[in-house]
Structure 1
């Protein structure tokens, strides 16, 4: 009988406070496997990085690749945080010195999806104990974002089917590294019985003991590095799978490595040092307020409207995480105020659609402001009040207003917002609007920085 062990992480999102324990634990497992000549493979399923952390921001994710190299992993795929929040040139460099293959079968170097980047492989093969293992990767197809940045992305299931059709004839085990989410993984398992193991991510699902769907064992380790996953496979002498099981380990219960606290602090301090460059000097404090309007919100509204040509900017006040003190404002200060990997998005909408949006905002804003929210690009604590300059609501007559007048149903409006309003379920009308223009690679903090430089005498071109 043969035994194969797979260790996997997913959606760490630069929660580097968990990395010392994860690394220490996995390094011990790799060392023990090597020493005892056991078969063990190590995989990350994407969104290992997140620009919310200063070290990731300050190194454009290269520090995260260095951490993966330390183990090293045997293969990784990447998620939307690698793929859509880094500039094209930064993603191109992200894995330049990787000690592992990057596997993704539905990602391309051009919008036409005819050529893959040099740093991506659609499939890789590993052989252990004379067992041939095919490893396929796939990432969530955020087409609007990828195409805006000059990349291409294919519908993942059809791309995976192509890889399955072209498998080497003597392949024994097929593993999918899937940054696609649990519902898609379940569908893939039913449509493609050739796949034996699906290591998942993207939807932050935790499958503590895995899940059998069709012929496949689905495994996933939740979010933020809070768990590490393990899959064990037993095969007979003919390389036929006899059993496959999954289990997860809570990171908080893993052995505490020496100097853990110092290492976590060092990650943060190194990031702060990388972001120490002065941006501007401001004459007075710019304070944030999660539950009301603020001067910094007005500045960001103006900035995004100028950047996108929009008439107003719909945002939640919870995006502002700190104040700016009077005096020098650094890259680090701007990052700490707006740590979220959020893009500006311009919506071209009809008067009727705008009316529905404003009506929804005024009906829901009170209940939304205290909601704790993580995800959808938002990295704050509370959603905060919804801010939409120039919009109003006549409560007596139940009429949405723009510039204190009823909405003109005969014209179109160009309204800006950010990713959270598109992907969170609060205002369905935003997702339904077909004409969306995503502004990449700049994040909201980059647009704010550009505006501050304009305001305080260091203007630069867009």
Structure 2
């Protein structure tokens, strides 16, 4: 019998406070395997980067790739944070110094879905002694975003089927690097039994000891680098897999490197240095307020409406994290104010839809004010006040108003918002609005930077 060990990480999201332990542990496992001539492979399943961290922001993710190189990993796939929060150019350059292949079968350059960037492979074959391991990668199909960024994305399950059809018959095991989420992984396990192991991510699920569905082992290591995973495959002399198991390790329980705190501080300091360039000088402080109106919220409302030619900006005041100024404002200051990897999205709606939206906001305002929102692109602490200027609700008459008047049912309104409101289930009417325009690659902080320069030059 022969053994193969797979070590995997996913959805670290630039939580580099966990990286010193993860790196020391994985590097130790790689060196030990080499010394004992044992077989081990190391994979990351996407969302390793997150522009919330100043080092990732300042290097457009390239510093993260340097960290993966130090292990080095044997292959990675891309997550939505790699694919959607970088411009086309920056994603195209992200892996130019990578020491490992990037595997994803459903991302393309053209609408016909025939061309891929030179750095991307739909599958790779890993030779491990006399065993041939096929790695297929796939990422979540956020079509509107990829199109806005001049990429094309395809439905992943069909794309995976197609790649399996192209694999040589001599493959001993098929491993899927899936940035698709647990529900999709389960569907794949039931419909594509040729896959031996699915290493999962995207929905931040933790499968402490894996899960077997049919012939397939599902494994996943949670989120933020709080865990890492191990899969062991046992092959018979005939080459057939006769056993497969999954285990996870809690990062907090791993040995602490002696210089851990210095490493963590160093990541932040280096990132801050990368973002030290002056943007503007403010004559007075611009204040933020999570639970009410503020100077920063007013300024950004104007900026968002101008950028997207919209009638109003729907947001939560919790997105504004700090004050600005007075005096010199750097790119780092703006990053700390708006650390979220969020894009503007315009909702084109009729008057009836706008009425329903305003009613939903009225019902949810008190409930959401102190809500500790996590995910959906939001990187703050609490949701805060819902802000939609020009809209109001007459409680006595139970009537939604626009500019203090009844809403024209047959009129069209352009409401600009961001990812949080489109993908989080706070206001169901937003899911029903068919016409949505994504503004990319600019993040909220890029639009604020543009407006500050326009005003304060």
* TM-score strictly above 0.5: yes
Contact preservation (8 Å) 1:2, 1:129: no
Matches within 5 A, 1:65-214: 65-214=65-214
Q: Secondary structure in 2 aligned to 1:340?
A: coil
Matching residue of 1:43: 43
- Secondary structure in 2 matching 1:81: helix
Q: TM-score, normalised by structure 2?
A: 0.99
> Partners of 1:42 and 1:211 in 2: how far apart?
20
Shift of 1:431: 2.0
Shift of 1:455: 1.0
* C-alpha deviation, 1:129, in angstroms: 2.7
Give distance in 1, aligned partners of 2:271 and 2:112.
37
2:4 aligned residue: 4
Task: Give, in whole Å, the separation in 2 of the partners of 1:87 and 1:219.
Answer: 31
1:451 corresponding residue in structure 2: 451
- Looking at structure 2, the residues matched to 97 and 117 of structure 1 have their Cα atoms a distance apart, in angstroms, of 15
Give the alignment of 1:295-334 within 5 angstroms.
295-334=295-334
TM-score w.r.t. structure 1 length? 0.98
Tell me the distance in 2 between the aligned counterparts of 1:272 and 1:423: 30
The CA deviation at 1:356 is 0.8
1:48-67 mapped onto 2 (5 Å cutoff): 48-67=48-67
Q: CA deviation at 1:158?
A: 0.3
| Secondary structure of the corresponding residue to residue 271 of structure 2 | helix
Structure 1: where are the runs of 5+ without partners?
none
Q: Report the equivalent of 2:442.
A: 442
Q: CA deviation at 1:14?
A: 0.2
CA RMSD of aligned residues (A): 0.7
How far, CA to CA, are the matches of 2:355 and 2:455 in structure 1?
33
Give, in whole Å, the separation in 2 of the partners of 1:47 and 1:404: 44
Contact 1:111/1:150 (<8 A) preserved: no
Q: Find the counterpart in structure 2 of residue 367 from structure 1.
A: 367
1:262 matches 2:262? yes
Distance of 2:19 and 2:288 partners within structure 1:
31
Q: Distance in 1 between matches of 2:286 and 2:407?
A: 33
- Contact 1:348–1:415 (8 Å) recurs in 2: yes
Q: CA deviation at 1:83?
A: 0.3
Asked whether the 8 Å contact 1:49–1:82 carries over to 2, the reply is: yes
- 1:342-353 alignment runs, 5 A limit: 342-353=342-353
Equivalent position of 1:13 in the other structure: 13
Secondary structure of 1:307 counterpart:
helix
> Partners in 1 of 2:104 and 2:391 — Cα distance?
44
Structure 1 runs, 4 residues or longer, greater than 2 Å off: none
Residue 252 of structure 1 corresponds to which residue in structure 2?
252
Distance 1:361 1:128 in 2: 57
